[in-house]
A and B are shown apart, each in its own frame.
Chain A
C-alpha cells in the first residue's frame, strides 16, 4: 500500500514552569492512501499532541524536538508558515471534538464552510457557494440552501458536527484527522456521525486518522489500530488482531475494563490499577510498568523496543522481545518469564 503519511521518531515536549513535559516520545506510525487508522489512548497519552505537532498547531510552549513526518514525500515538520498553511485545510484537514467551541459564533455556517474554498481554490464566488451548498447536502443537513445562512447557535450538537465535517472535507483532502469527533455526542447521534464519516471516506477516497479513547467506536470505523500510552506507541495491529489477540498488557487491560451488555453484575469490574504516568518525570523503563500486572525486573529499568508479536502486529513489551534477558527476569509475584 502506498503511504500517504509516514511519521518517524517524533518527539514533542511542553516547557512549563515545572519542567519539561514529554508529551510525545519517539512516535513512529504510517497511514496508507484511503485507509482509516484508529489511534486509541487515555487522556494525556499524546494522541492529539502528536498530530497537532505535525500540523504546526502546538501552543507556544510546545516544541517538536525531533523526528520527521513525511506527507506525500515532503516533511511537514520542515515546512514554514505559508507552506504549512497551504497544506493545512487543503490536503490535510481536521475535525475536532467539541463542535460548540470550534465553530465561529459570529459567522454563518455557510461562510465558515466556504472559507476553505476561498483560501485554497481559485473558484469564483457563485462556484464557491454552489460547492458549499453541495457539501452541506452531502453531510445531510436538511434544507441546505436555507441553512447556509444559519448561525452555529441555531444548530444542535450533531448538526454542528456535520458542519465541522463539511468544513474539513470541502477541499477533498487526502488526509482527515478526526480527533474524538463523536465524544461530545449522544450515542444515537454518534451512530449517525460514524455512518456519515464512513460514507464520505469511501466517496472521497480520503485517508482518515480517527483519534478516540473508545475502542468500540474505533472498531466501527478503522481497519488498523495504534494504541498509545505515555506518549508512545504500545501496540499496533489490525482491528481484528487487537480485539482477538491483544499482545500488550495495557491493551488487554483496556479491553477488560469496558463493561459490555453481558457483564455479570455480581462480579466486580477488572480495572487497570493506578493512574497514568506523570510525563514531567516518566518512569525510566516501560511507561506502563507501574500499573502492569506482568511487570518483570527489566520492565522497570529499560524501555522495551517495539517488537513483532505476529506478522503485521507489533508490541512494545518485553514479553515479546527477542532481546529480553532470559535470566533473572522475575515477575512481581515471583514467577519467572520463560520465552516462547
Chain B
C-alpha cells in the first residue's frame, strides 16, 4: 500500500552551510490493514519520516510509492487528488484542531476540500456517521475544540482523518500527550477502525510497549536510519542491535522493585547531533560492543531470519 525507498531528508541550518541529516536512507513498506511501528529516541528522525512521506516536507532523495504511484516528485496540483488516500493524526490534540472552527466543520473540511460530497445534508450526515464511529455524537457537532478533553479531541482528529476513506494513516505520536487511562481508549479505537476498514498505519511512538501492541512490523530508528526491523514482535523476544537491546532494557517495569534491583541505565550519554553524525555506525559512540570497524564503516542491513533485519557489524 505504501512503500518508501532510500528516503533522505536533509535540512539546511539557517545562516550556515551545515546540513541536518534528519533522515538518511530509510526503506519500509506497509501492507493494507497492517501497522508499521517506528520507534526511537527524540531526534532520531521518526517525525521527519512521517512529514516527508506526507509531503509536508520535500524529500531530498528517494521515492514514496502510494498505491502503486510514486508521489515523491509530484507537483502540488498533481498530488492533491492523492492526498485523500493518505491522512495524518497528530500528537498534540490541542494544537492540531482549529480553535475557531466547530467540530462539524473541522471534520467536514477534508470532504469539502476534496469535493467528495456536495450537498450540505450529505456532508452533515457523513460527519455525524463518522463522529458516532469514534464515540462522539450529534450533541458534539456544534461545539468548539476547547469544550473537549484531550482524549475527545484526539477522537475528533481521528474522525477528520478517516472521513475521506484513506488507505494510509500516518499516526505521529497519537497518544503520547494523553493520560494513561485515555491512551488505551484511543488505541482500542484505532485498532478497531483498522480491522473494519483495512487501513494501513504508520504508527510513530516512543512507548515501546504500546508499539509492540499495535504493530504488525516494527522499525527501530537511530540518527536518521532504521537499525533493526522485524515482523511481529521479534525484536522484543530476540533483539539483535545493541541499541534495540538498550532501549528495551530502559523500560521501567510496572511492578515493585525487589531486593534493590532497580532499573539501570542501559545506554549512557545522549544521541549525537544530526548536524555532524558520527562516522561509521552512528551508534558507536554509545555502544558497549563498538569495534574498530564500527568507527569507520557504516554497517549494511542484513537479513538474519525471515523479515528480521539488522544493521550491525556484530552480525
CB neighbours of A258 from chain B (8 A):
180, 209, 254
- Total count of chain B residues near the partner, CB < 8 A: 45
Q: Is the CB of B208 within 8 A of A187?
A: yes
B23, chain A: closest CB distance, angstroms: 18
Residue among A158, A272, A273 having the largest count of chain B Cβ atoms under 10 Å: A272
Knowing A188-B267, A220-B263, say if A214 contacts B256 (CB, 8 Å): no
Partner of B206, one of A159, A186, A198: A186
10 pairs, CB–CB < 8 Å, chain A vs chain B: A187-B41, A187-B206, A188-B247, A191-B250, A220-B262, A220-B263, A260-B209, A265-B213, A265-B233, A271-B185
A263 to B212, CA, bound (A): 9
A89, chain B: closest CB distance, angstroms: 28
Q: Which residue of A lies closest to B177 (CB)?
A: A43
Q: Is the CB of B256 within 8 A of A244?
A: yes
Q: Residues of A with Cβ closer than 8 Å to B?
A: 42-43, 156-159, 186-192, 194-195, 198, 213-217, 219-220, 239-240, 242-244, 253-255, 257-261, 263, 265, 268-273, 275-276
A90, chain B: closest CB distance, angstroms: 29
Partner of B210, one of A216, A259, A276: A259
Q: Is B149's beta carbon under 8 Å from chain A?
A: yes
Partner of B255, one of A195, A219, A270, A272: A219
B280, chain A: closest CB distance, angstroms: 20
CB neighbours of A273 from chain B (8 A):
185
Q: Is the CB of B270 within 8 A of A158?
A: yes
Q: Is the CB of A243 within 8 A of B266?
A: no
Q: Is the CB of A190 within 8 A of B181?
A: no
Q: Is the CB of A188 within 8 A of B265?
A: yes
CB neighbours of B271 from chain A (8 A):
156, 186
Q: Is the CB of B264 within 8 A of A195?
A: yes
Knowing A257-B181, A259-B184, say if A268 contacts B191 (CB, 8 Å): yes
Q: Is B246's beta carbon under 8 Å from chain A?
A: yes
A299 to B233, CA, bound (A): 42
Residue among B151, B206, B209, B254 having the largest count of chain A Cβ atoms under 10 Å: B254
A6 to B179, CA, bound (A): 29
Q: Which residue of B lies closest to A266 (CB)?
A: B191
Q: Mark B249-282, 1 if CB is under 8 A from A, else 0.
A: 0111111110000111111101100000000000
Partner of B265, one of A192, A215, A261, A263: A192
10 nearest A-B residue pairs (beta carbon)? A271-B184, A269-B184, A272-B181, A42-B179, A186-B41, A216-B252, A257-B184, A216-B254, A187-B250, A191-B265
Q: Is the CB of A257 within 8 A of B149?
A: no
Q: Is B188's beta carbon under 8 Å from chain A?
A: yes
Q: Which residue of B lies closest to A217 (CB)?
A: B252
Q: Is the CB of B152 within 8 A of A243?
A: no
Residue among B41, B182, B236, B263 having the largest count of chain A Cβ atoms under 10 Å: B263
Q: Is the CB of B180 within 8 A of A219?
A: no
Q: Is the CB of A42 within 8 A of B181?
A: yes
Q: Is B31's beta carbon under 8 Å from chain A?
A: no
CB neighbours of A157 from chain B (8 A):
42
Partner of A257, one of B180, B206, B248, B256: B180
CB neighbours of B193 from chain A (8 A):
none
CB neighbours of B20 from chain A (8 A):
none
CB neighbours of A215 from chain B (8 A):
180, 254
CB neighbours of B213 from chain A (8 A):
259, 263, 265, 269
Q: Is the CB of A275 within 8 A of B149?
A: yes
Q: Is B65's beta carbon under 8 Å from chain A?
A: no
CB neighbours of A186 from chain B (8 A):
41-42, 206, 271
CB neighbours of B209 from chain A (8 A):
258-261, 263
Q: Is the CB of B180 within 8 A of A254?
A: yes
Q: Is B29's beta carbon under 8 Å from chain A?
A: no
| B184-212 residues at the A interface, CB under 8 angstroms | 184-185, 187-188, 191-192, 206, 208-210, 212
Q: Is the CB of A187 within 8 A of B179?
A: no
Q: Is the CB of A243 within 8 A of B263?
A: no
B266, chain A: closest CB distance, angstroms: 6
B279, chain A: closest CB distance, angstroms: 21
CB neighbours of A158 from chain B (8 A):
270
Q: Is B285's beta carbon under 8 Å from chain A?
A: no
Q: Is the CB of B263 within 8 A of A195?
A: yes
A205, chain B: closest CB distance, angstroms: 17
Q: Is B183's beta carbon under 8 Å from chain A?
A: yes
Q: Is the CB of B263 within 8 A of A276?
A: no
CB neighbours of A276 from chain B (8 A):
149, 179
Q: Is the CB of B184 within 8 A of A219?
A: no
Q: Is the CB of B250 within 8 A of A271?
A: no
Known contacts A195-B262, A259-B213; 16 further A-B pairs (Cβ under 8 A): A191-B264, A192-B265, A195-B265, A214-B252, A215-B254, A216-B251, A219-B252, A219-B256, A220-B263, A253-B181, A259-B210, A261-B208, A265-B213, A271-B181, A272-B181, A275-B152
CB neighbours of B267 from chain A (8 A):
188
| B86-129 residues at the A interface, CB under 8 angstroms | none
Knowing A259-B209, A259-B213, A263-B209, say if A188 contacts B262 (CB, 8 Å): no
Q: Is the CB of A187 within 8 A of B251?
A: yes
A19, chain B: closest CB distance, angstroms: 15
Q: Is the CB of B181 within 8 A of A156?
A: no
A244 to B266, CA, bound (A): 27
CB neighbours of A42 from chain B (8 A):
179-182
| B30-44 residues at the A interface, CB under 8 angstroms | 41-42
